Chains A and B, each alone.
Chain A
Amino acid sequence: MKFDTTFWMKLSQIDRRWIFLVIAITVALPMVLGIDFTAVPAPMVEKVFQTIQRLPAGSKVLISYDYGPSTVPENQPMADALVFHLLSKDCKVYMMAVWATGERQSQYTIDHIVKPSFPNKEYGVDYIDLGFKAGGTGLINMLFTSVKRMYTTDRTGNDIQSFPMMSDIETLKNFDMILSISSGAPGLKEWIQFAGDRGNIPVAGGVTAVQATELFPYYPRQMFGLMAGLQGAAEYESLVIHMYPKFFQHRSALRKMAPQTVAHLAIIAFVIIGNIAYFMTRKK
C-alpha cells in the first residue's frame, strides 16, 4: 500500500512535458499509419445536407469564410465539402469573408475543389469570390440593405456589374441560403442575428468545436443545421461521398478522425489517472 501511494504521488507530480510527449505520440502515430474512419452523421449535420439537397438548380447561396489559418483543420473541410455539394447541385455559389484571413481560404477552395472538380463551371456565372471587407457586423448590416454598394468589385478587382450572376443580387434577401463557416466573432452567430433573423433568410453553417455548444440554442428555429468541429466536417464529408463518390479524393476531416479519436481516449485516460492519483494520495 505504501508503494502504491508513493507511486501515485509521483505520478500526480509528473513533469507535464511527459504528458505533452504522450499527446504528440497519440496524434502522430495514427496519422503515420494512415487509418481511415467513417463518421455517422448527427441530425444537425444531416439537416444541412438534406436542405441543400432539396435546393433547386440555380439557387443562390452565399458562403462566408469567417476563419483563419489557426482553425483551418476544422473549418476548411466544411467549406470545401459545402462548395462541392452546392456546385454538384448546380447552385450559384457566392463566396465572401467577414474575416481578413478568410480570403486566402476561399482562394484555396477555388484552387483545390472548384477548378479540378468542376472544370465546366464558369467564374462569374456559376461561382464568384467577393472577398473580404472590413466592418464585421457593420458589413453584414450594410449587405442587408445593399450588397453592391459595399462590393463594387470582386476579390480580383473586376467590376461587380460585369458578372452575370450578380445581376439580380441587391440585398442579402436575394440569397436563398446563407452559410457561414466560422471560428469566432463575427461569424455564424452574427449572421443569424444580423441577417437570418432580421430578413427570414435560412442560415446554417459550420463552426469550430469550441464555438459549437453556444450555437445550439439557435437550432432549429433560427439556424437550420450545424456542423460542429472536425467531427461535424467528417460527417458532412461522409454524406457528400455517399452521394458523390468522386469527393472521396478531397476528404480531409475523415482522414483526421483516427488520430482525433485516439487523442480523445488519451485525454480521457489522463482525467481518469489524474483522479485515481488524487484519491489515492488524498487518503494519506
Chain B
Amino acid sequence: MFFLTLLLLLLLGSVGLAFFIRPLRKFFPLLLTLFTGLLLVVALFIPAQPFPKLEEEFSMWFDVIAVFSFILGGGNLLRVHLMKIQQKKRDWQYSIVTVTGFVIVLVIGLFKVGSKNWSDPYLAQGTAFKWMYDAVFVPLQATIFSLLAFFVASAAFRAFRAKTREATILLVAAFIILIGRTPVGVWLTSWLPNPLQFFHIPNLSTWILSVPNMAGQRAIMIGIALGIISTSLKMILGIERSWLGGDES
C-alpha cells in the first residue's frame, strides 16, 4: 500500500506541479520516457528481480492504457464530425451518417442489446452487436479493401512500363512470381528435361523468393532495424520529442 500511495503521489503530484510550473509539462514526461525506456532495455540484459517484475507491470499498464486509446479515437472522431455538422462544412450531411452509426453501434455494444444476461459475451449469437458486425462491418471493410484489386489491375495496365533495365527486371520478376504461384506455372514448363529443372517456373519462382528477394528484404530489414534502433534511442534520451507537441497547452 505504501508503494501504491507513493506512486499515486508521484503521478498526481507531478501533474499538479506542472499546473503551476509550465516547463515541467515537458520535463516530467521526458523523464518518464527515459525511465520506462531504460527499464525495458535493462530488463533484457539483467534478468534478475526487480527488472522482470517491473517489465511485467509496465506491459500490463501499457495494455490497459492502450484501451483508452480506442476511447480517445472514438471521442476524437465524434468531436470532429459534430463540429463539421455544427459548422455545416462541405458534405456535413455524411457526418450525420458517421455519428449515427457510431452511436448506434456503441449503444448496442455497451448495453449488450439482444443478450439475455449481462454475463453473456458481447459477440454472442443473437446479440445486435454480432448482427451488426456480420451485416454491416464485415461487408464494408471487406469491400473497401477488395476495391484495390481493380486499382492494381488499372495500375498494371497504365504504370508498369519496361522503360529502363531496372523496370524490366522488376517486371520479369513479378511475371515469374505471378505465374509461378499458380497451377499455370506448373503446366507451362512441366515438359522441361531434368537438367533444366531450375527453369521450371515454380522452381524459378521459389529461387527468386528465397535468394535474391531474401537478399533484398534482408538489406531492407537491416536498414529499417538500424533506423528503429536509432529513433528509439533518440526517444528514450529525449532527443526526439516531437510527440510532445508544439506548445505547452
Asked whether the complex places CB atoms of A and B closer than 8 A, the reply is yes
Question: Inside 8 A of A87's CB, which chain B residues have their CB?
Answer: none
With A43-B206, A136-B66 in contact, do A271 and B183 touch (Cβ < 8 Å)?
no
Contact present for B214 and A142 (CB under 8 Å): no
The CA-CA distance from A213 to B213 in the complex, in Å, is 7
Question: Inside 8 A of A133's CB, which chain B residues have their CB?
Answer: 63
Contact present for A155 and B221 (CB under 8 Å): no
B171: CB under 8 A from chain A?
Answer: yes
Contact present for B153 and A150 (CB under 8 Å): no
B230: CB under 8 A from chain A?
Answer: no
Contact present for B63 and A138 (CB under 8 Å): yes
The CA-CA distance from A202 to B15 in the complex, in Å, is 45
With A43-B206, A134-B67, A216-B214 in contact, do A142 and B157 touch (Cβ < 8 Å)?
no
Q: Which of A223-279 contact B (CB under 8 A)?
A: 228-229, 231, 257, 260-261, 263-268, 270-271, 273-275, 278
Contact present for A37 and B183 (CB under 8 Å): yes
With A134-B63, A142-B59, A150-B63 in contact, do A268 and B178 touch (Cβ < 8 Å)?
yes
Q: Which of A21-45 contact B (CB under 8 A)?
A: 22-24, 27, 37-40, 42-43
The CA-CA distance from A19 to B158 in the complex, in Å, is 10
A146: CB under 8 A from chain B?
Answer: yes
Q: Residue A40 contacts which of B145, B202, B217 (CB distance < 8 angstroms)?
A: B202
Contact present for B121 and A135 (CB under 8 Å): no
A72: CB under 8 A from chain B?
Answer: yes
Q: Which of B49-104 contact A (CB under 8 A)?
A: 52, 55-56, 59-60, 62-64, 66-67, 70
A217: CB under 8 A from chain B?
Answer: yes
A168: CB under 8 A from chain B?
Answer: no
Contact present for A267 and B141 (CB under 8 Å): no
Which of A22, A270, A278 has the most chain B CB atoms closer than 10 A to its own CB?
A: A270
Q: How many B residues have CB within 8 A of the partner chain? A: 55
Q: Residue A72 contacts which of B137, B142, B158, B209 (CB distance < 8 angstroms)?
A: B142
With A134-B66, A268-B175 in contact, do A214 and B221 touch (Cβ < 8 Å)?
yes
B19: CB under 8 A from chain A?
Answer: no
Contact residues of B with A, CB < 8 Å? 52, 55-56, 59-60, 62-64, 66-67, 70, 119-121, 123, 130, 133, 137-138, 141-142, 144-145, 149-150, 152-154, 156-158, 160-163, 171, 174-175, 178-179, 181-184, 186, 202, 206, 209-210, 213-214, 217-218, 220-221
Beyond the given A43-B206, A141-B55, A149-B56, please list 13 additional residue pairs across the A-B interface where CB-CB is below 8 A: A19-B153, A23-B149, A71-B145, A104-B123, A136-B66, A139-B59, A142-B56, A142-B63, A213-B209, A213-B213, A217-B218, A261-B184, A267-B152
